[in-house]
């Protein structure tokens, strides 16, 4: 080998090493997750019913927990390479900014202040939540206006208080707020008649009513106070991780749209019905490289947690004790607002 050729090979090797280092650096938190081989994801205190709760065996479950498992699977190949970090509503943003967690998946509303002033980046909405008011049936209220002068219990550190204030002040309605940090404290307050009503995220209110000593003693009024898109949150500048998150959400929705489930994903991969499904499941290469993942990442996600509809049904929908209708969270083809991006 000539000295010139040796020099060229050495130069190429150095260039490749430099490129690899640059890629690792550009991956930011995504690279850190890969190196740690584990995702640090949010829980609550285990009592956010339907989204992040701990069952009788001490296992985490719920819609948000399943989204954490899906993301862990996409990046590491396994849903078990996941650490659920319990954080309060108020501590979720400081925990993300300090690096105690990699990502917030905690029904977190996409607001302008959070987006522009806290150094956060939101994913495309993975859930759309209407805000209603639940009240004691014996008060006889049929609309929020009927609760003027009453006491409202609300969760501190959430957008619920702001939504309530905006709604009541705009209509010139008098009211009083009792704020609680923990959902179980709030539920205890309404069950024990310390307040007249609880405004909140529709799924949360439905779960609160299901858990009541006498569910028939409460009613959820039909007035929609606000509609909030819930996104997955990372620190600003974590573009590589956000790309993975957005395409993970698309894969969950596309799988449902194409009828791909946990049960049939192997058959779909072996005999894909379309070029899009073939690409998505990694039957042809390329779907992983653009995200810095393996080509079977989407297949692994569907095989592990199923499609969006399967996650919804078993955590908060028809196969759960909460029985929440899909509503706006249905696919666009079924009257909802959820749709996959174009996976080309």
pLDDT tens for each residue of 143-157: 999 999 999 999 887
> In the chain, what percentage of residues exceed pLDDT 90?
71
* Model pLDDT for residues 73-82, shown as the tens digit of each residue: 999 999 999 9
pLDDT of 97: 95
Indicate the pLDDT class of residue 158, thresholds 50, 70 and 90. confident
pLDDT of 149: 95
Using the predicted structure, report yes or no on whether residue 175 has a pLDDT greater than 80: yes
Distances (CA, A) of 314 to 62, 99, 200, 304: 8, 31, 22, 14
pLDDT of 16: 36
Residue 5 β-bridge partners? none
pLDDT of 92: 94
pLDDT of 287: 92
Average pLDDT over residues 34-62: 90
Q: Which residues contact 119 (CB under 8 A, 6 or more apart)?
A: 97, 235, 236
For residue 283, report the phi and psi dihedrals to the nearest 5 degrees. -65, -30
Tokens of 39: 């995702």
Q: Which residue has the tokens 């806290």?
A: 118
- Cβ neighbours around 289 below 10 Å, total: 10
- Predicted TM-score of the model (pTM): 0.82
* Model pLDDT for residues 177-222, shown as the tens digit of each residue: 999 888 888 889 999 999 999 999 888 888 888 889 999 999 989 8
pLDDT of 93: 94
pLDDT of 22: 43
Q: What is the mean pLDDT of the chain?
A: 89
* Model pLDDT for residues 87-143, shown as the tens digit of each residue: 988 899 999 999 999 999 998 989 888 889 999 999 999 999 889 999 999 999 999
Residue 63 β-bridge partners? none
Cα distance from N-terminal residue to C-terminal residue, the chain = 44
pLDDT of 140: 96
Using the predicted structure, report yes or no on whether residue 236 has a pLDDT greater than 90: yes
Report d(CA 259, CA 188) in Å as an integer: 42
Of residues 128 and 322, more confidence is placed in 128
The runs of H, that is alpha helices, within 192-236 are 202-211
Indicate the pLDDT class of residue 232, thresholds 50, 70 and 90. very high
- Strand locations in the chain (E): 39-43, 47-48, 52-54, 60-61, 82-86, 104-109, 120-122, 127-136, 151-155, 176-180, 197-201, 218-220, 226-235
* Model pLDDT for residues 239-293, shown as the tens digit of each residue: 999 999 999 999 999 999 999 999 999 999 999 999 999 999 999 999 999 999 9
CB 156 within 8 A of CB 201: no
pLDDT of 284: 92
């Amino acid at each position: 080998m000539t000295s010139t050729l040796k020099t060229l090979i050495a130069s190429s090797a150095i260039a490749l090493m430099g490129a690899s280092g640059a890629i690792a650096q550009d991956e930011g938190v995504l690279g850190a997750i890969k190196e740690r081989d584990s995702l640090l994801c949010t829980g609550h205190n285990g009592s956010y019913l339907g989204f992040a709760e701990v069952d009788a065996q001490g296992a985490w479950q719920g819609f948000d927990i399943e989204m954490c498992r899906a993301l862990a699977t996409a990046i590491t190949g396994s849903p078990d390479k996941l650490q659920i970090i319990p954080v309060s509503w108020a501590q979720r943003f400081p925990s993300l900014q300090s690096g105690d967690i990699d990502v917030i998946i905690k029904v977190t509303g996409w607001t302008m202040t959070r987006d522009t002033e806290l150094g956060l980046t939101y994913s495309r909405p993975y859930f759309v939540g209407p805000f209603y008011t639940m009240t004691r049936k014996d008060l006889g209220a049929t609309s929020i206006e009927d609760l003027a002068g009453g006491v409202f219990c609300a969760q501190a550190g959430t957008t619920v208080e702001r939504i309530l204030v905006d709604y009541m002040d705009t209509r010139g309605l008098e009211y009083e707020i009792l704020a609680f940090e923990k959902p179980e404290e709030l539920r205890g307050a309404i069950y024990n008649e310390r307040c007249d009503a609880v405004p909140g995220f529709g799924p949360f209110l439905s779960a609160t009513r299901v858990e009541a000593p006498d569910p028939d003693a409460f009613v959820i009024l039909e007035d929609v106070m606000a509609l909030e898109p819930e996104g997955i949150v990372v620190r600003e500048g974590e573009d590589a991780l956000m790309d993975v998150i957005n395409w993970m959400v698309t894969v969950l929705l596309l799988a449902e749209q194409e009828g791909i489930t946990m049960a049939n994903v192997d058959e779909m991969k072996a005999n894909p019905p379309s070029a899009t499904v073939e690409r998505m499941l990694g039957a042809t290469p390329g779907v992983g490289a653009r995200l810095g993942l393996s080509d079977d990442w989407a297949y692994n996600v569907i095989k592990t947690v199923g499609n969006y509809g399967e996650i919804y049904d078993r955590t908060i929908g028809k196969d759960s004790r909460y029985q929440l209708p899909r509503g706006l969270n249905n696919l666009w083809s079924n009257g909802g607002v959820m749709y996959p991006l174009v996976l080309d």
